[in-house]
Amino acid sequence: MRREPNLLIVQKFGGSSVANVERVFNVAKRIIETYKQGNDVVVVLSAQGDTTDELIAKAHEIDLHPSRREMDMLISTGEQISVALMAMAIQKLGYPAVSLNAFQVGMYTNRTHSNARLKKIHTERIEAELDRKNIVLVTGFQGINRFEDITTLGRSGSDTTAVALAAALKADKCEIYTDVDGVYTADPRVVKNARKLKEISYDEMLELASLGAKVLHNRSVEIAKKYNVELVVRSSLTNAEGTVVKEVCNMEKMLVSGVAGDKNVARISVIGVEDTPGKAFELFSLLAKHKISVDIILQSIGRDGTKDISFTVARDDLHDALKLINENKERLTAKDVVYSDKIAKVSIVGAGMATNPGVAAMMFEAMYNAGININMISTSEVKISVLIDEKYTEDAMNAIHEQFRLAIER
């Protein structure tokens, strides 16, 4: 049982925040500060620095397309290193701490290796450790499936571990500590003029995250919205006030709240498909059956009894998608399959755009002025995305951000 009137606080620290010994101790001290105030503290950690990328590179030295099960077994280890080291650092500073992995917690996911979804989190072990007055350090990113195999939640998945834990434990606060001091109108490393938002709604944050703003994992925002977990995104290195992510915000006047870029995009074009009913269904159900998500879709007008269907997938899925389509080329009546993995998606997000015609035109004008060609376009009530040559991503983000600067200013 929780001890009143303490707060239960879930804190998450990203990879760069725990990248070396000095940072581990810096974070350990922050955690201890929260603990010393009388709070119960559960901490989720990511792998140190570039550990996950390095582990992936190691796997690729053996096989460029290794089994997803073994890949999860490998890349989930980075988080285990972090929690063990952090527990040691906290203990060294004289405070009680215990590290737990997904298996020890009982962090259950579905079966989808490398992009698993959390299904159920057991809270008993964590609660028992809190009752023993321990600071509890939990591996981010990891899960286990019902066969007790290790899964991972997708790149950046530690955010999702943290928010899901906060929801499961009914935590009073969920703080996401990272290497920037909040959510900005665009990636501050790409757009110099980006400004920090005081607050942002779940819906807009979800769009931004899904469209490539990697400051939060998109599923973490989905879970936060579903369970009404208020998040604070802030810096692990400074005391600057962060950005609050919550249900409603005072942003009615905002036309556009942010710009996002995403290079994890590949385009596939299936050429010369018979122009008869059911072809799109066959193609996309084939991909769905193999858990390949499709994003932007464009179908050409039929000509001479055939049509072309172009669509985008995540780059990690390109190899599998091409293999599937080529294996089924005859059934799909495709004459040819071509692809590009040198493209990127740049998007704007804003709740205000649904009621404001002309936003798309403003965005395209910015692209035109910057001399950047648009490949594909996709719109919804809250976002507009364009597909462009990857090498213009940063230019496009800056040009679009500048175009909407007045709208973005608050």
- Min separation Cβ 265 and ligand ASP, Å: 18
The partner in contact with residue 398, picked from ligand ASP, Mg ion, ligand ADP, none with C-beta cut-offs of 5 to 8 angstroms by kind, is none
The partner in contact with residue 78, picked from ligand ADP, ligand ASP, Mg ion, none with C-beta cut-offs of 5 to 8 angstroms by kind, is ligand ASP
- Min separation Cβ 27 and ligand ADP, Å: 11
Q: Are 116 and 84 in contact (CB under 8 A)?
A: no
Phi–psi pair at 376, nearest 5 degrees: -145, 155
- 5 cis-preceded (ω within 30 degrees of 0): yes
Among 99, 134, 151, 158, binds ligand ASP (CB under 6 A): 158
Among 9, 14, 77, 265, binds ligand ADP (CB under 6 A): 14
| Segment holding 377, helix H or strand E | strand 376-379
Asked if 109 touches ligand ASP (CB under 6 A), the answer is no
| Interaction mask 105-144, Mg ion, x per CB under 5 A | ----------------------------------------
Q: Which residue has the tokens 């900005």?
A: 184
| Interaction mask 26-65, ligand ASP, x per CB under 6 A | --------------------xx----x-------------
The nearer residue to Mg ion, 233 or 321, going by C-beta atoms, is 233
Q: Which of 267, 349, 366, 354 is nearest to 308 (CA)?
A: 267
State how beta strands 258-274 and 306-313 pair.
antiparallel
Which residues inside 170-229 make contact with ligand ADP, applying CB under 6 A?
178-180, 183-184, 186-189, 208, 213-215
Phi–psi pair at 86, nearest 5 degrees: -65, -40
The nearer residue to ligand ADP, 179 or 402, going by C-beta atoms, is 179
Residue 340 has which token pair? 């590009």
Asked if 46 touches ligand ADP (CB under 6 A), the answer is yes
CB atoms within 10 A of CB 391: 11
- Min separation Cβ 114 and ligand ADP, Å: 17
Non-local (6+) Cβ contacts of 264 within 8 A are 212, 314, 315, 316
